[in-house]
Structure 1
Amino acid sequence: MRGQQDVAELTEQVITYIAKYTGSQVGGFYLADEARNLSLASSYAYQRRKNLSDKIAVGEGLVGQAVKEKQTIMIANVPDDYISVNSGLGQASPNSLMVSPILLEGAVKGAIEIGRFGEFDSKTIELLERSNESIAMAINTAHDRVRMQNLLEEAQRSTEELQAQQEELRTTNTELEEQSKIISDSEASLKAQQEELQASNEELEEKTEYLQRQKQEILDKNSKIELSRNQLEEKAKELEISSKYKSEFLANMSHELRTPLNSLLILSEMLSQNKEGNLTNKQLESAAIIHRGGHDLLNLINDILDLSKVESGKLTLEIQNIELNQLQRSICTQFEPLIHNKDFKFISELDEGLPKTIQTDQMRTLQILKNLMSNAFKFTVKGSVQFRIFVPDSDVVFKQEHLNNQNCIGFSVIDTGIGIEQDKQRLIFEAFQQADGSTSRKFGGTGLGLTISRELCRLLGGELQISSELNKGSTFSVYLPLLNDGQYGNSNKSADHLGIVPTHSDRLNTVANSLHADRKKSTPPLTSPAVETGAYVESTFIEDDRDSIKPGDKAVLIIEDDKDFSSVLKGISKVKGYKVLVAGDGKSALHLAAKFQPSAIILDLGLPDLDGLKVLALFKSDLTTRHIPVQIISAREGLDNGKYHGAIGVLKKPTSMEELSKVFAVFDGILNSQPKKLMIIDDDERHCHSLKLLLENDGIEITEVNSGERAIELMRQAQFDCIVLDLQLPGISGQDLLQQMQASATDRLPPVVINTGVELSEDQYRELSRYTDKIILKGSISNERLLDEVMLFLHQTPLTLPDSQRQAIQMLHNEESFFEGRTLLLVDDDLRNTFALSTVLEERGLNVIIAENGLKALEALEQHENIEVVLMDIMMPVMDGYEAMKEIRAQDKYNALPIIALTAKAMAEDKAKCLDAGANDYMNKPVKTDELLALLKVTIV
């Protein structure tokens, strides 16, 4: 019990020692609290039981009774179930118990309970009684030690708290001292500020008085400014009204000038053609002079209107990406034919290192360049005219701050003509001015071309420079920015956009020589097919092979307005060995097909400008393109191979690589130089042979068959390219034969042309149309139609056919026959125009109905249900063209009626107004006959 032990260790050692010393098998040590209630603190070999509590009150049980009596209690013959002693091998119950209280000076500190198998002897009792007080003292000492430790810890905590409070108090005192100092300083500062504020207030009062005086002065000035602003607004309104009157004047002047020109040009052109052959050569020459004079007058009107539109801000730009080689090609196409019978050379150059495209307005750029080229051709007698596209050298000096040799492209027109004196070079850019008044008589012209070119250069953000010497030649250079956001036209109109470059004699003397040296560094001049017109510049939908296609190349024209799918088709075409042309709309497709004569065509039906079926019909009605195989690929519902005249097949979007590969396999088969296989099925041997004589040529291998059974047998053996079938066969009907032939075909049923003399019922037509839409009834022109359809399906080029076959097809497709019997409504209040246009149209076979205003046009439509197209003038009395077109479109039955607006107004917004009112297309007066007829063919189909 010696040493510093806690209560738990002490009671554990005591009960263990006593149990061992007394030979007891079980024991427990209980400690008393202040109320003398006992709790088990330690035990020896004691097994706790659930129904016994570790807490014992005084007088409760033997332990409680011993504490109460403060006397030792011994019990012998303890029942077996009272308590047990357990070991690993068994258990037994002690038969003697002894409970001894632990007393110190009469106070109960605890109790010890022990049990053994035998009786307790006197030594054991004596031991307990002798050690009782020592145990009590040890317990008391342990308790005191715990209390002392707790008191010590509490004292330490109190000390630490006191130290922390003292430190916090010290910190607080320091802060208070600092705050007191700050307050003291603040009071001094506040006092100084108050003094300053008082001074400021005095100064502010002085300033307030000054500002009051200024305010009054400003109010007086504002009154004057408001008066000036009102005057400016009034002038602006007057200017706006004046501009409106000017625009209206331009529109009306355009109408009044173009309207008589329209009939003059049409009628003079008709007279020049002398179709009736009753005019003398002198009369024809007079008609030609009238026609040329009319064109010259039209050009003058156009120049005046262009200049007026630029000056009034009415001219709008259409900025797009333009390919430089196409600009060059357009210039070459227009001016190369003009060098015949001239004593000078025309050279066109496209320098290396140029970008592929620039961003600008295509039409206005061409207008500038054509003006400069026209002048060069006009004023050059011998030597050369050069057109060059190049990257500007670093020594070029620009007047426009936004231009430099890195961000622009140069276009130069260099001639060895009459040249211009230095002091006259700025003069020629003024309206109606030329370097010498005599030149207008010698060379002609109005002097507007360069003025317009200068203004257009300004609108395009460019600069026009001139370098010239009298009798040596001139160089006009146009510099345009590579990128144009359309904002350059808002630049200062008064800024100088004209550069006069000083000239040196030796420079102009070496122009002609330098052309040949520079030519070695440039690309060769481009030549264009004869079908291209000088006024047309192609737009590229996506990059294709149009610049590298040569005659004889295998090329496919892809007509698809979806750029992603166009790119996919382009890639597949390349893999299949085809060069590629791509068009995003119908009109571009027609132009590319006529120009390049592709080997095959892939056609989408949903195009932005023309329906795909109309484009297909135009291909097949044109002798130059009708032989080209066309594959339709479209998402349109209800497609059927047999219903589209001339197409080799129809694929429904989305399609697969396997299907597209089959399309190109069909193309390859058609383009194969092997003779095409044609089967004629007719039980009349003589008629069959006569058809063979009608259809045979070097490119066709014809098989004559006189029975359906033989036809089926041959279909199992070989693939034919086309079949001509007579329905009157012995033993089998034409319909049954077509069904069996379709089942017997080695690949697919080839195109079938039914040639029969049998009158077919509506049900028979419907059934046969599952296999073909070409049913020809034998009659007066059946042979020509049969020849035409077979050559179409065999993709035979009319130009390569024998003369007799070619002439028969040409007769079937002449222009007069296309328009024959069709009815057109011409709406115009000018008798000269209606006479001229109706004469031209009626000569082509059209039935022309004339209405003198919009109201009469509505009446004519009600009276003539067979009207297929309307030509609508705009400026008319009673009801103008805009209102008439809106009234027509308001009626559902006229939704699909084609309307072409004809107007002499020259403003850009006029076209939009016509289309918004309901027009399908738009033409300016004076109308060009060829363009009108071409537009009618596209519109009426």
Structure 2
Amino acid sequence: MSEVSRIRVLLVDDSPDDRELILMNLRRGGYQPIPTEVDTKEAFVDALDAHTWDLIICDYSMPGFDGLTALKILKNRNRDIPFILVSGAIGEELAVKAMKAGAHDYLMKDNLQRLIPAVEREINEARNRKKQKEAEQERDRLLTVIQHSLNEIFIFDSKTLRFRYLNETAANNLGYSEDEFSKLTPIDISPQIDNRADFERIIQPLRDGRMEKEFFVTKHTRKDGSTYPIEIHIQLIKQGNDPFFTAIGFDMSDREKDARRIKEHKDIAREMALHSKYKSEFLANMSHELRTPLNSITLLSKLLMKAKDKNLTADQSNFVDVIHQSGNNLLELINEVLDLSKIESGEMELSLSRINRQNLVSDIRNLFAPLADEKKLVFDISVDNTLPDQITTDRMRLEQVLKNLLSNAFKFTDEGSVALRVFSPEPGNRAVLKQEMIGFSVSDTGIGIPKEKQSLVFESFQQADGSTQRRYGGTGLGLTICRQISELLGGSITLESQEGAGSTFTLLLPVDSTEFVEKSRSSLKTTSDGELQRELKLSPAPVKDSEPITPKQKYSAKILLATDSSRLQSKIKSIAGTKNIELSIVTSGENIAPEADRFQPDFLILDPYITHMSGWSFSKMISRRSNIPVWLAENPGKVLPPMIHNTVQGVIYDASAGQDLQSMLDTDRKTADPACQTLLLVDDNEMHNTALREFALEFVDRCITATSAREAYDVLENQSIDCVVLDLSLPDASGADVLKKLSDDDHLSRIPVIIYSGKSLSASEKSFLMEHASDIILKNVGSHSRLMKKIGELTGNSLPDHNLSDPFDFSRLAGRSVLIVDDDQRSYFSLSSHLKEYNIITEHAESGKAALQKLNNTSYHAVLLDVMMPDMDGHELLKEIRRNSRWKDLPIFSVTARAMRGDRETCLELGATDYISKPVDPDIILTLLSIWIAE
């Protein structure tokens, strides 16, 4: 009773007394009625639709309404609700009529003793009817699912194996009628099962309970004799005394078709990947074959142009100028073809940086003003001063587009003017991105472009007409590349032109391309199984150069981060934000030196694989020319170069970046704090100590000397020391032991140590010392001044001699020896001719084997190594050289004309000191040699 104690009752009676009497009896019977009382037909209909009722108790006869009418309404609505009629007096005939009409019981008002049993019975029966109906509906749903399942479903007898049931899918697939099928067994429709004994072996584990389910792959035979592959899953259902088997069949025809289709797609993908590979290899080889002789042409012509003797006639000088210009034109053509190929294959790499608008415009003006003067054209530049001072984009690519547009404007204009306008676009023109844009328009008064040809100028190898190419030259690739670069940067380029009146090209770009580049990260790359995925290969968008994390506050340190890895940027930025550090980020090597001069960082974090110059070459340069402490940052997925410990103070590893950064901060505070004023000199030569002490007191307030390791330990334990100068030859211990002990002590490891010794060091000794010391200075002529400069740097009492971006003094390379490994005699001749201008000694090896032989017989200060050679390519030679510990620290520069994506990383990972692309700029070669081997 407790389960049905609360019931919702619709009470239909025109007598309030009778209604109350009925409710009182329900309460006495243990029910808690929730009544709704009505006495008209309209009220009954409204109430019937308003709730879900447990019970209706209705008077047989009321003015204008009666119980039989209420029953009829209930029946028409198909509502199954217990309905009990009550009446004051009624004949047996009317009672029978009411029961036939659908009443569940009939009671007299003056005798309601049967009310409670009747209510309990009818409510229970109503609930049972509801459950039965729900079960039937669920069964019907399941039967519908089974009948219309896309898989074949069978039921067959466990004894006779004859089918009892098959669903619609099975019947349609096999083609049998239900009557025909009832006479068949699984053996009759499975040609691969020969007899019952074979089938019994399959289902026996199900019969004896060893397995709950069994599955196998076979074929089914249709009524017409054709077959199709199918996977069968069988289960034995033990239901009472009538066990039976159920089987579900999965038609594998489509699966086999899908497998064939997938294989075809994979084959196509592999073929496309091979085509892409062959194309890249072709471009790389073509680049090499073109750049190698071009390298000789440009280098030798430049050498002739700079001839010291000035013994060329005017005509000969003109000839040389033509040769040099022709070489540059060929180089431009090669670069355009390679650029277009990279864009089309999704391999164009963007390097975003923050650039000064005025500097950009000034560079453009300086570049094209001489051309304007030469052609007697007006060159006008106008700039909207309301534009932001800085924009974030790929400077090299933006300059490439502007230079191409301006070059075309000057090329096709014989009189009049060329104009560059930098402006803020109207809001309606900002269709590329809903953000702040900057516009560059290049206008000329030249030949113009016919209207019908204007849609073609942005297509590859297209110009207005054939006579244009014959008269003005060019490949028709420039504008194609301009358009695609603008789109990669999130912008657009448009043309307005009138034949004979000139043209205007308008470039629109976001003021900050970072957001667009991040969203456009998709390119064509080949997965491990040969399938192609779309992913535009863009260099990660950086944090804006020179932008502090938190402006207008006092910072604990200033860090310059040089990397184009967005992951590395985000990680260092996140850590720096928690340590109150001012952070500036550059994304290409060419921006490091000027930004370091401007930003004056406390220390520099370098990505070894940053573009333009390898990170450790910059590290080497900075360590020689500045007191900025340099650390390398591990870029996940790339191998740290083998020579890093020789050029930097430490490494910030990806897994422990926070801890490593804190160690760097601690070291930096110790090495660059202007308050560092106490120096410890450790040398067993007392006279030497005395002389050094006099020099050192120019930079520090106190200078303590020690002539043994023991004395040095005592000083370090009892006094605060800010810098140590350590000789390696001590009476009671080696300097290396002292350095190791200092490094292992958490407190003392923070003190910078300069190794100052006359001892000749092996490569392994030098590697160990550089890992733990701030610098190594060998005692020789001039070493005193270098030592004093280093002490001044570490104690914060001196400044670098000059800025990082100042030019090198190449005369310091005189007498250094360089082995040039190149199978092309022309390349060797042109390159060696330039190096000899600075009294650099060069030798030639025409193959990898010859190079190894020369290295075994002669000591060189550096090696210039061509990557593409016949018998042993540069990669193999590089690996072979690095396997020999004698040459572990030998500076090796890979020189190649391939210039394809991935070549640089491969060379650096194999152990190259740096990577140079042909045609070689001799100043770059000389700069790298100055960094690594200059006196």
Question: Structure 1 length normalisation: TM-score?
Answer: 0.48
Structure with larger Rg: 1
TM, length-normalised to structure 2:
0.49
